[in-house]
């Protein structure tokens, strides 16, 4: 009996090739796209054209499914997306933290709501076009994630939060392919989306201007405050906490005679600390909201030597992690890391590229 898989269709090349590969492997394939936009809402104009869940992407996904002769559904999750992703995005920036809405979307939308929808439809799996590898590890007796073959496209960093139950019902067919090969296959299969550009910007932010987006949505007045240098001296006025993130250089409006960077944000005092590039480097961090994948967890006081990533595009670096208390670990880098950013994710790997787990950066260790 054929197994059924629901493919999360974005209208792009990756999810389209995912659907074809699974159909060719003998699965019953169903395509589903999440509709997260509202055409009459001026705040969501970005979702009409270009985003990964935009109106034109929904239409592209429908056309791909028609060409493959597979069922297609569009599910409206606008309310849930607003509450679980956009509101979170706004709150984090207002608190002086830098959110990762793509991770929030994965956690809440794809691998919770959409996976539940897939199982409700009687499917065995949900599949996505993420570049990551997943299998059941007989020795560990656990499902594991590993970095993709295409290291430049690897997306394991944003999937550290998957649970064993979610991994049991999830497929990632593209993890063994280079992105160039995926585009070649799309062209060979006759897909009109074979040369469609990858989505780069946050899908719900018009023109990638998240600051204006926050201003429009916020019920609070974004108050100006003061820049201070690392010695505690006032050196200028800033536009408001949500406008800045750790490591930022552009848009500060300061002429200090040296390259200036945001090195810290103190939201309760409405202060942004400015320093040199050297001041942006930290020796470690504290992470919370942890999830473990290749292991069931570590005990309080236990240390592990790992590789870590503190942003998606970063190369893994060596570090030691130590559990300090329930759901909190200390991470000490072998070499200082640049722009450790509270609110972002940190993902842990072993020396074979398996995802050990990860968490949310709570604070920096200077």
Domain boundaries, the chain: 4-129+172-208, 221-275, 281-365
pLDDT for res 201 = 64
What confidence tens digit (pLDDT) does each residue in 7-61 have? 999 889 999 999 999 999 999 999 999 988 654 454 444 444 445 556 677 888 9
81 class by beta-carbon count within 10 Å (0-12 exposed, 13-18 middle, 19+ buried): buried
**Residue 252 CB contacts under 8 Å (≥ 6 apart), including other chains:** 227, 238, 244, 260, 262, 274
User: Looking at 52, 65, 102, 203, which residue is catalytic?
Assistant: 203
**Alpha-carbon span 21 to 312, nearest angstrom:** 26
What confidence tens digit (pLDDT) does each residue in 213-226 have? 887 887 777 889 99
Predicted TM-score (pTM) of the model is: 0.91
Fold agreement (4-129+172-208, 281-365): no
Q: Which residues are annotated as a binding site for ATP?
A: 8-15, 34, 129
What is the fold of 4-129+172-208? Answer: Rossmann fold (3.40.50)
Answer whether residue 72 shows pLDDT above 80: yes
- Active site (annotated) includes residue 52: no
pLDDT for res 195 = 79
96 class by beta-carbon count within 10 Å (0-12 exposed, 13-18 middle, 19+ buried): buried
- Architecture in CATH for domain 281-365: Beta Barrel (2.40)
pLDDT for res 125 = 98
- Active site (annotated) includes residue 203: yes
Answer whether residue 263 shows pLDDT above 50: yes
pLDDT for res 42 = 45
- Architecture in CATH for domain 221-275: Roll (2.30)
What confidence tens digit (pLDDT) does each residue in 154-171 have? 999 999 999 999 999 999
Q: Which residues are annotated as a binding site?
A: 8-15, 34, 129
Answer whether residue 80 shows pLDDT above 90: yes
């Amino acid at each position: 009996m054929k197994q059924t898989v629901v493919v999360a269709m974005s209208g792009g090349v990756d999810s389209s090739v995912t659907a074809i590969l699974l159909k060719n492997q003998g699965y019953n394939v169903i395509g589903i796209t999440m509709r997260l936009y509202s055409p009459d809402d001026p705040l969501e104009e970005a979702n009409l054209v270009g985003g990964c869940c935009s109106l034109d992407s929904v239409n592209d996904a429908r056309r791909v499914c028609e060409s493959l002769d597979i069922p297609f559904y569009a599910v409206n999750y606008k309310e849930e997306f607003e509450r679980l992703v956009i509101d979170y995005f706004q709150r984090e920036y207002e608190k002086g933290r830098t959110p990762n809405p793509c991770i929030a979307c994965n956690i809440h939308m794809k691998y919770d709501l959409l996976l539940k929808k897939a199982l409700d439809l009687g499917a065995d799996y949900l599949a996505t076009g993420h570049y990551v590898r997943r299998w059941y590890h007989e020795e560990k007796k656990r499902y594991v994630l590993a970095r993709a073959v295409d290291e430049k496209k690897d997306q394991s960093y944003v999937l550290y939060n998957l649970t064993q139950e979610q991994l049991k019902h999830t497929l990632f067919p593209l993890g063994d392919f280079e992105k160039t090969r995926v585009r070649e296959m799309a062209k060979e299969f006759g897909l009109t989306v074979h040369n469609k550009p990858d989505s780069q910007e946050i899908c719900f932010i018009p023109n990638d201007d998240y600051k204006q987006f926050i201003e429009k949505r916020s019920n609070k007045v974004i108050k100006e405050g003061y820049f201070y240098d690392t010695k505690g001296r006032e050196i200028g006025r800033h536009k408001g906490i949500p406008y800045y993130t750790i490591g930022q250089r552009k848009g500060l409006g300061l002429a200090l005679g040296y390259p200036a960077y945001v090195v810290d944000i103190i939201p309760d005092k409405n202060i942004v600390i400015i320093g040199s590039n050297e001041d942006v480097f930290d020796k470690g961090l504290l992470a919370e909201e942890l999830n473990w994948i290749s292991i069931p967890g570590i005990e309080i006081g236990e240390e592990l030597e790992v590789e870590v990533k503190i942003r998606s595009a970063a190369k893994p670096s060596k570090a030691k992690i130590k559990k300090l208390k329930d759901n909190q670990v200390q991470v000490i880098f072998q070499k200082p890391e640049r722009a450790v950013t509270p609110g972002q994710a940190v993902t842990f790997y072993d020396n074979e590229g398996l995802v050990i787990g990860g968490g949310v950066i709570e604070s920096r260790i200077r």
